[in-house]
Every structure is written in structure tokens, then in C-alpha cells.
Amino acid sequence: MRKQSRPPAPLPFEEKSDQWTKQWLNIRAQNVSGFTWYTVGGKTARQWALPALHVMNQGHCSFCDAFPLEDRSKTPVGHFRPKGHDRFAHLAFE
């Protein structure tokens, strides 16, 4: 496991994470299934997050330490604290 230094959050996350979190918690409260990445400036929040995650993880997978991050279009964004779990839902955009 590599030591990670968390870079600053991408600007859309700094500006919108509180709003997105409220929306996500509202969706979960209505028992609507599915998670959708919000879009800002023509890019999904996932597309904004991946470059920062790539830098933070030094191009490695956070879980297995392999190099699957070469093709970022197919890179899954995993959560150490699953956004679908009631206990961690409020951290979905952190």
C-alpha cells in the first residue's frame, strides 16, 4: 500500500458537494435506487474526480496496488466508505 496525499478537491466538488450530498440523501430517503454522477461544465463529477484520484494514488489502484488506472475512461471510482451504505451516504462526494 502506498502512502497517499490527498490533493485539493476539484473545484466543482468544493462548490457543489454540499448540494449534491443533500440531493443524494433525499434520493436515498425516497428509496430510489441508483447513483448518478452530477454534471458540471459538460463533465460528470466522476470525470472531474478521476485526475485528482489518479494523482493521489500515483496511478495505482487504491485497493490492489496494480496499475489499472492507465485507461481512466474505464476506471471505477471505489469508495472506502460505500455511498450506498446508510452509515456513509453523507460522504458520497467527499
Q: Each residue of 38-48: b (16+ CB within 10 Å) or e?
A: bebeeeebbbb
- Domains of the chain by residue range: 18-28+35-91
pTM across the whole model: 0.66
* Cα–Cα distance for residue pair 20/85, rounded to 1 Å: 16
- Tens digit of pLDDT per residue, the chain (94 long)? 667 777 788 889 889 989 988 988 888 888 776 777 888 999 988 888 888 887 887 777 766 666 655 555 555 666 666 777 788 888 877 7
Between the alpha carbon of residue 73 and those of residues 27, 50, 79, the distances in Å are 26, 9, 17
The pLDDT score that the predictor gives to residue 74 is: 59
